[in-house]
A and B are shown apart, each in its own frame.
Chain A
Amino acid sequence: MSEEGLVMTSRDLNPDYYEARRAGNAVQHYINTLYGSPFRLYSVTQVHKARTEAMADTGMKYFLEFSVKDWVGESSEWHGSVEVLYPRGETQAPPQVQGSWGGLPQLNISAKEQEFYQRYSAADSSVSGKDIPDSYGNIDREMKPFWHLARVAASFVMLNESNENTLYNMAQVAKITQLETQDDQLRFDYEVLLHNMVSQEIIRWKLLVSWSPAGGVKVLETELLPRCHCKSPTQ
């Protein structure tokens, strides 16, 4: 039985296969834009069940049951369900994610956030760094919260860029420079490398990011940078 104007074709998906993985990846980015922090980051650890429905007018909707946890705080895994709608259209538009997150584990990080905020809101604070992690996977302990912050900020971009043919992860922080604190928000200029598993491309983005315990992570400006065609050292 089909309703007037709406053709519903529902298809069960193998939760280990690429369609469900990509949708789960978009959900991960979405959760981090809402709840991520220098001291909290979520990872979708597994998709348990997945189904799609083609919404003739609006796009492709995915229904997922999945597990997620905060890997910075090492929270327990939480089992949730979510709908992801990838819109139809020629131009890129982010998927719309709908879920209820009341059960998401949110460990108390306010003391850590306050301490971090106090430390880096000093007038002369000028954090900077590059290649985080370095080529060998090392991250200075002190730089870890900045790495986490970059991942949260990158999540905004990765979510915006997500569609059924992408699977994004942040590969590395190329550069971080602290800017003057403004309106009580710490501010940073980031250059991040994103890896799209599907195209295998490394994409460079410049991000202007603000953060405070009260204000959360905000991405004020983004700029897609040109590809680096690095030359090999000749002779």
Chain B
Amino acid sequence: MTCSDRHQVLRITPKNEAEVILLKELSQLEHLEVILNHMAWTLEIELNIVHLISLMAYCSSDTWSFFAYTELCFYMNTKDYNVLCVFVLFCLQLDFWREPIDVSLPVDARVPFHSLQPVRSFLAYNEIHYDIMIADLQVDLLDAEQQEMTKSRALQPRSTDDFNYATYHTLSEINSFIDALVQENPNLVSKIVIGQSYEGRPLNVLKFSTGANRPGIWIDTGIHSREWVTQASGTWFAKKIATDYGRDAALTAILDRFDIFLEIVTNPDGFQFTHTSNRMWRKTRKPNSGSRCAGVDPNRNWDAGFGGAGSSSNPCSETYRGTYAHSEPEVKAIVDFVTSHGNLKAFVSIHSYSQMLLYPYGYTKTPCRDQAELHEVAQRAVAALTSLYGTKYAYGSIINVIYQASGGTIDWTYDQGIKYSYTFELRDTGRYGFILPANQIVPTAQETWQALMVIMDHTKNNPY
């Protein structure tokens, strides 16, 4: 027989010392060696694992000497339970993601399906309460790296200091991070829900503010859901801002004059879809009537050259513009926010990949009125970015550097009067593309931050 590769993850919160001790005993079973008893083999006894519970309940803790072989399962049967307490071998394969430490501190145990009944019976017998954290976890036991990913994903950090910025996270982890950051920095950070996605998910924006009635700077990441390094960088930026206020002179000076608004998951429906179904999904998830294809390109849906060349009228296209400008709730929410705020002075929308810093326009070759200034700021921002790790960036207007694109975000924000409107295309240039290895998240975020600081600093020093 083979050991199962499907698991449940149970969360057990011990109510008292006795439970902590029992759980510690259970956790001893995690790191074990085989002890084969000759008698057991000659007797050829077989044990049905389902009956394990009665054995565990029967044996008192000092005769309880369960050992588990981590790679093989042995079934043994006998009428003599006392013998079994000593001789039993089985494949429990528990994996404690959070060890039992103390009363009220949760314990997380990954339990293979075949061990569920004995473990749950053990807990029930001892009246230890547990919750099922993950009901069905497929784990390839040979893939250590995948296990680590799953493990670190399920461990909700106790604080944003524990959050792993060097890995990709799920939507719920990022939302938990957002709440934690607000909780830890109540005088600086608040959360604004600017609307709801098509599928009803909150559109969360972090507001960093040190005073009332300030002009604002907007940063968004993840408008295209497959561009995972952007949401990951967004979480890093959030932590960076909260950490650097009061410590870094330049950032403090900016926050003493401006509010910073940061939307990390600008397209949550799409983001969820990249986790569950299609890693390469770009658009929103709104169905298109009369078509089998869903979704609108949220970066072609803005009212700036809407419907022109550089977007598609075909719902199946990745650059489908939608039936009318601002048709997507994810876009409309930002439009409404910008309009009602009325005092944003910089707007940065972050994408990947290509390594570019771009300014308007995308929909027309006509240079924008502030082209010279935007170009000069971009030059300095890119120089600052490159100074960190040597990453090369191109810069210029969207239509010159990358392609004609109509209905784009920063064309609209610029035409609303937000002069310092920029779009980034982060790492890389095509080697990994959208699937950038996680070890590049933090370097990418760090170098991008240098460029953002140049833009924000210039915004502060050049009021308009």
Residue B436 lies at the interface, judged by CB distance under 8 Å to chain A: yes
Residue A5 lies at the interface, judged by CB distance under 8 Å to chain B: no
Residue A14 lies at the interface, judged by CB distance under 8 Å to chain B: yes
User: Among residues 171 to 219 in chain A, which have CB atoms less than 8 Å away from a CB atom of chain B?
Assistant: 171-172, 193, 195, 197-202
Residues of A within 8 A of B432 (CB): 133, 137
> What 1/0 flags go to A134-148 for Cβ under 8 Å of B?
111110000000000
Q: Residue of B at shortest CB range from A44?
A: B429
Q: A136-B435, A137-B432 are in contact. Are A17 and B279 (CB under 8 A)?
A: no
Contact B273 A232 (CB under 8 A): yes
Q: A71-B431, A195-B433, A229-B292 are in contact. Are A136 and B168 (CB under 8 A)?
A: yes
Q: Residue of A at shortest CB range from B199?
A: A232
User: Among residues 17 to 56 in chain A, which have CB atoms less than 8 Å away from a CB atom of chain B?
Assistant: 17-18, 21, 25, 43, 45-46
Residue B408 lies at the interface, judged by CB distance under 8 Å to chain A: no
B345 to chain A, nearest CB (A): 28
B454 to chain A, nearest CB (A): 19
Q: A18-B401, A202-B280 are in contact. Are A171 and B434 (CB under 8 A)?
A: yes
User: Please, how many angstroms separate the alpha-carbon atoms of A231 and B294 in the complex?
Assistant: 9
Q: A71-B431, A230-B277, A231-B277 are in contact. Are A200 and B437 (CB under 8 A)?
A: no
> What 1/0 flags go to B260-280 for Cβ under 8 Å of A?
000000000000011111111
B286 to chain A, nearest CB (A): 11
Contact A14 B400 (CB under 8 A): yes
New contact pairs (9) apart from A138-B437, A230-B278, CB-CB < 8 Å: A14-B400, A16-B395, A16-B401, A25-B430, A135-B275, A195-B280, A195-B433, A200-B319, A228-B278
- Chain B: residues with CB nearer than 8 A to chain A? 145-146, 149, 167-168, 228, 273-282, 285, 292-294, 297, 316-319, 354, 392, 394-396, 400-403, 429-438, 440
Q: Residue of A at shortest CB range from B269?
A: A232
Residue A233 lies at the interface, judged by CB distance under 8 Å to chain B: yes
Q: A136-B168, A199-B319 are in contact. Are A17 and B278 (CB under 8 A)?
A: no
Residues of B within 8 A of A200 (CB): 282, 297, 318-319
A35 to chain B, nearest CB (A): 17
Contact A18 B436 (CB under 8 A): no
Residue A169 lies at the interface, judged by CB distance under 8 Å to chain B: yes
Contact A137 B396 (CB under 8 A): no
Residues of A within 8 A of B167 (CB): 136
A123 to chain B, nearest CB (A): 24
- Chain A: residues with CB nearer than 8 A to chain B? 14, 16-18, 21, 25, 43, 45-46, 71, 131, 133-138, 169, 171-172, 193, 195, 197-202, 227-233
Contact B436 A43 (CB under 8 A): no
B419 to chain A, nearest CB (A): 23
B198 to chain A, nearest CB (A): 11
Contact partner of A169 (CB less than 8 A), chosen from B279, B316, B317, B433, is B433
Contact B437 A18 (CB under 8 A): no
A-B contact pairs, 25 of them (CB 8 A): A14-B396, A14-B400, A17-B400, A18-B400, A18-B403, A43-B430, A45-B392, A71-B431, A133-B435, A135-B275, A135-B279, A136-B168, A137-B437, A138-B145, A138-B437, A172-B280, A199-B317, A200-B282, A200-B318, A202-B280, A202-B318, A229-B316, A232-B273, A232-B294, A233-B276
User: Please, how many angstroms separate the alpha-carbon atoms of A172 and B275 in the complex?
Assistant: 16
Contact partner of B396 (CB less than 8 A), chosen from A16, A43, A195, A227, is A16
Residues of B within 8 A of A46 (CB): 392
User: Please, how many angstroms separate the alpha-carbon atoms of A109 and B307 in the complex?
Assistant: 52
Residues of A within 8 A of B297 (CB): 200
Residues of B within 8 A of A18 (CB): 400-403
User: Please, how many angstroms separate the alpha-carbon atoms of A211 and B347 in the complex?
Assistant: 50
Contact B354 A197 (CB under 8 A): yes
Contact B433 A171 (CB under 8 A): yes
User: Please, how many angstroms separate the alpha-carbon atoms of A92 and B317 in the complex?
Assistant: 20
User: Please, how many angstroms separate the alpha-carbon atoms of A228 and B274 in the complex?
Assistant: 14
Residues of A within 8 A of B228 (CB): 135
A102 to chain B, nearest CB (A): 26
Residues of B within 8 A of A16 (CB): 394-396, 401
Contact B435 A137 (CB under 8 A): yes
Q: A16-B401, A17-B401 are in contact. Are A232 and B435 (CB under 8 A)?
A: no
Q: A16-B401, A200-B318, A229-B292 are in contact. Are A137 and B436 (CB under 8 A)?
A: yes
Contact B292 A201 (CB under 8 A): no
Q: A136-B435, A171-B280 are in contact. Are A201 and B400 (CB under 8 A)?
A: no
Contact A136 B293 (CB under 8 A): no
A174 to chain B, nearest CB (A): 10
User: Please, how many angstroms separate the alpha-carbon atoms of A218 and B279 in the complex?
Assistant: 29
Contact A136 B319 (CB under 8 A): no
Residues of B within 8 A of A201 (CB): 317-318
Q: A16-B394, A135-B279 are in contact. Are A232 and B431 (CB under 8 A)?
A: no
User: Please, how many angstroms separate the alpha-carbon atoms of A45 and B392 in the complex?
Assistant: 9
User: Please, how many angstroms separate the alpha-carbon atoms of A231 and B278 in the complex?
Assistant: 9
Q: A16-B394, A200-B282, A233-B277 are in contact. Are A169 and B430 (CB under 8 A)?
A: yes
User: Please, how many angstroms separate the alpha-carbon atoms of A229 and B316 in the complex?
Assistant: 9
User: Please, how many angstroms separate the alpha-carbon atoms of A195 and B430 in the complex?
Assistant: 9
Contact B437 A136 (CB under 8 A): yes
Residues of B within 8 A of A231 (CB): 277
Residues of B within 8 A of A172 (CB): 279-280, 435
User: Please, how many angstroms separate the alpha-carbon atoms of A134 and B228 in the complex?
Assistant: 13
User: Please, how many angstroms separate the alpha-carbon atoms of A231 and B277 in the complex?
Assistant: 8
User: Please, how many angstroms separate the alpha-carbon atoms of A200 and B312 in the complex?
Assistant: 11
Residues of A within 8 A of B146 (CB): 134
Residues of A within 8 A of B317 (CB): 199, 201
Q: Residue of A at shortest CB range from B287?
A: A232
Nearest first, the 4 closest Cβ-Cβ pairs linking A and B are: A137-B437, A169-B430, A200-B318, A16-B394
Residues of B within 8 A of A138 (CB): 145, 437-438
User: Please, how many angstroms separate the alpha-carbon atoms of A93 and B73 in the complex?
Assistant: 60
Contact partner of A43 (CB less than 8 A), chosen from B395, B431, B438, is B431
A155 to chain B, nearest CB (A): 12
B125 to chain A, nearest CB (A): 35
Contact B434 A195 (CB under 8 A): yes
Q: A17-B396, A136-B149, A200-B282 are in contact. Are A171 and B435 (CB under 8 A)?
A: yes
